[in-house]
Structure 1
């Protein structure tokens, strides 16, 4: 068991390490990018990475406070589903109106990796290998698809 400070330090160390591994990669548009805090340019639409003591996930998260708006954005992603899954080279799970870790209603398109822990440094290579290519693929998808979401800006 880790103290609160140790836990925070390990989490910070993981995200710093992840940032160092992904920093050399430019965005699909050839620009430098803050990968760990990826900006889609649309309020309430985020590419979210989460790692805890049991699992990790990467997601396209729609967190608009109006569930109807979440559903509209979700439906727009459904129109791009083939392009998204081609970019990702895998199928992800589609979750309309689920609850996040803060008990807020969100909608997600998500891929999960189970049985890993941010608190086990021996799991970090597996976590980085899981997150990095998927985030790069999301960026490539977003570069091609973002104009289709302009109505949500």
Structure 2
């Protein structure tokens, strides 16, 4: 078990190592759609790459989620099997729509699994980005 300070330091080292290993500009928040972003996440049990639709207006959130959902089979070609939740509840109670892929059995606190996480991040985020750029005009047309 790590102290809070040790855990923070390890997380900082992890993200620095990822950035140095794969120095590229990711799409992430630069989708040109407010509250529609791609994210990396890693914790002590898994790694995750996600598309998060965080609009407060449920009508808009639903419309974007339905756009993505209408392209389900195509998205699967880009990122493989994925999970989705139209009403995903964050720890703070906020409801978002989320599409994600995860890799279980890896930990941000185990340096031996970092390379696996990095490769997973690159493969899946690249797939999400290629999908988004290919269907961007369709997705934005809400």
- Asked whether the two chains share a fold, i.e. TM above 0.5, the reply is yes
Provide, for residues 38-69 of structure 1, a one-character-per-residue CA deviation record: whole Å limited to 9, x for no partner.
52221111111111112221111111112222
Secondary structure at the aligned position of 2:64 is classed as helix
1-structure distance, mates of 2:124, 2:29? 13
What are the equivalent positions in structure 2 for 1:41-60 lying under 5 Å apart?
A: 41-60=32-51
In the alignment, which residue of structure 2 is the partner of 1:29? none
2-structure distance, mates of 1:92, 1:20? 27
1-structure distance, mates of 2:54, 2:74? 22
> Can you give the 5+ residue segments of structure 2 that lack an aligned partner in the other structure?
none
Secondary structure at the aligned position of 1:59 is classed as strand
Q: Shift in Å at residue 104 of structure 1?
A: 1.3
2-structure distance, mates of 1:54, 1:102? 20
In the alignment, which residue of structure 1 is the partner of 2:128? 138
In the alignment, which residue of structure 1 is the partner of 2:6? 6
In the alignment, which residue of structure 1 is the partner of 2:60? 69
What are the equivalent positions in structure 2 for 1:18-57 lying under 5 Å apart?
A: 18-23=18-23, 33=25, 35=26, 37-57=28-48
Does the aligned pair in 1 maintain the 2:42–2:107 contact within 8 Å? yes
Q: Shift in Å at residue 138 of structure 1?
A: 1.2
1-structure distance, mates of 2:108, 2:93? 22
1-structure distance, mates of 2:48, 2:66? 22
Question: Alignment RMSD, CA only?
Answer: 1.8
Give the number of aligned pairs. 142
TM-score of the pair, normalised by structure 2: 0.89
Q: Shift in Å at residue 36 of structure 1?
A: 8.2
Q: 1:37 to 1:73 in 2, by over 3 A?
A: closer
Do residues 123 (structure 1) and 113 (structure 2) align? yes
Secondary structure at the aligned position of 2:88 is classed as strand
Secondary structure at the aligned position of 2:125 is classed as helix
TM-score of the pair, normalised by structure 1: 0.83
Q: Shift in Å at residue 83 of structure 1?
A: 2.3
Q: Shift in Å at residue 144 of structure 1?
A: 0.8
